[in-house]
């Protein structure tokens, strides 16, 4: 898939994608990232991209004209024209039109980015990321062009560049072929429930061989968005702390129960809000109540 980044600081991205998974994805043409300098779409000698806000107030606002020109250069039409094109296709009896490109404005007041949205982006052909700066972007760009305002968290960054890098990293690792083992993207925090993975993939990933050649139980993937359980590797003892005995006794039933309990414990501690929308069994609720009682 392809990412188009519109920014006033293109140099920010010069090395950020040169490591690890992102480097491999780009080298193997599984993903393409193109960075566009917003100042290239200005027409004054100072290459002005911002101006004072109407109504007064602190800071500066990114002007609409350079952004509109940059989007036009990328082949992005205003939303109204895209909608009209979709209606024309339907009237002509063509196949239902499915958008393959999303224009995203990175802004503190946007929808919070999460794994579900990352999966939606991974099904697209292209994501255009507009990096906000200063006090923000002229709202008319949002109204005319943007499909979504997006924030990566409840805090304020100096600009959208770092947020764009976060979004791209989270999405690219979900593109088929990017990770050496696709299970790495399925069986982890915020992963899909088993029913949504597909029987063939679930079977293929059910029991990867570990370093001893044994097949341990699969991840506790009926998590429905719970956090992952703790992981341990060799040595069995480090700095006076031993790996929990349950993980080395060979009882896969006990291991599954322990991992599920640890998921519930970590989620209750770090992200209790996730429990509100999780599909919890009667046993899960019993375990949670026991954990809460232990903390009193």
CA distance 95 to 204: 34
CB 149, CB 105: distance < 8 Å: yes
Which is higher by pLDDT, 194 or 250?
Answer: 250
Is-contact 262 229, C-beta < 8 A?
A: yes
List pLDDT tens digits, range 73-88: 999 999 999 887 666 6
How much is the pLDDT for 277? 85
N- to C-terminal Cα separation, the chain: 49
Q: What is the mean pLDDT of residues 145-154?
A: 96
Phi, psi of 176, deg, nearest 5: -55, 135
Burial of 67 (0-12, 13-18, 19+ CB in 10 A): buried
CA angle in degrees (0–180, nearest 5) for 78-14-34: 30
| Predicted confidence (pLDDT) at residue 105 exceeds the cutoff of 70 | yes
What b-and-e string marks burial along 200-221, b requiring 16 or more CB atoms within 10 Å of the CB?
A: eebeebeeeeeeeeeeeebbbb
109: three-class secondary structure by DSSP:
strand
Q: Which residues contact 278 (CB under 8 A, 6 or more apart)?
A: 223, 224, 225, 226, 267
Which one, of 52, 37, 61, lies nearest residue 137 by Cα? Answer: 61
pLDDT at 222: 46
Domains of the chain: 2-172 (3.40.1280.10), 188-295 (1.10.1270.20)
Count of CB atoms situated within 10 Å of the CB of 139 = 12
Spell out the residues 6+ positions from residue 159 whose beta carbon is closer than 8 angstroms to its own: 7, 8, 9, 131, 132, 133
210 versus 276: which is more confidently predicted?
276
pLDDT in tens, 109-141: 999 999 999 999 999 999 999 999 999 999 999
Distance CA 224, CA 190 (A): 7
Q: In the prediction, which pLDDT does 216 show? A: 46
- Quote the mean pLDDT of the chain: 86
Span 157-186, pLDDT tens digits: 999 999 999 999 999 999 999 986 555 545
- Percentage of residues in the chain with pLDDT exceeding 70? 80
pLDDT at 99: 78
So what's the pLDDT on residue 190? 60
Helices (H), the chain: 20-27, 64-73, 79-91, 115-122, 139-145, 161-172, 183-186, 199-205, 252-270, 282-295
> Residue 98 has what pLDDT?
66
Mean pLDDT of 136-164: 96
pLDDT at 187: 52
């Amino acid at each position: 898939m392809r990412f188009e980044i519109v920014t006033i600081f293109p140099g920010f991205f010069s090395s950020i994608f040169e490591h690890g998974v992102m480097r491999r994805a780009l080298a193997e043409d599984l993903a393409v990232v193109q960075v566009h300098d917003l100042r290239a779409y200005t027409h004054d000698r100072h290459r002005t991209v911002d101006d004072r806000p109407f109504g007064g107030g602190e800071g500066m606002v990114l002007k609409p004209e350079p952004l509109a020109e940059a989007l036009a250069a990328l082949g992005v039409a205003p939303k109204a024209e895209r909608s009209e094109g979709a209606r024309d296709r339907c009237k002509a009896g063509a196949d239902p039109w499915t958008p393959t490109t999303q224009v995203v404005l990175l802004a503190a007041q946007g929808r919070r980015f999460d794994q579900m949205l990352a999966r939606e982006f991974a099904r697209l052909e292209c994501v255009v990321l507009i990096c906000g700066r200063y006090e923000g972007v002229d709202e008319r760009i949002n109204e005319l062009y943007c499909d979504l305002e997006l924030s990566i968290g409840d805090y304020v960054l100096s600009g959208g560049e770092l947020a764009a890098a976060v979004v791209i990293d989270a999405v690219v690792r979900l593109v088929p072929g990017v990770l050496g083992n696709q299970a790495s993207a399925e069986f982890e925090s915020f992963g899909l429930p088993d029913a949504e993975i597909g029987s063939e993939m679930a079977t293929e990933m059910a029991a990867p061989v570990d370093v001893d050649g044994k097949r341990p139980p699969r991840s506790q993937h009926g998590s429905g968005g719970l956090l992952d359980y703790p992981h341990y590797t060799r040595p069995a003892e480090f700095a006076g702390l031993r790996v929990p005995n349950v993980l080395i006794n060979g009882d896969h039933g006990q291991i599954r129960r322990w991992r599920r309990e640890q998921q519930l414990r970590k989620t209750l501690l770090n992200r209790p809000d996730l429990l509100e929308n999780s599909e919890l069994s009667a046993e899960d609720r019993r375990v949670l109540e026991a954990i809460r009682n232990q903390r009193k």
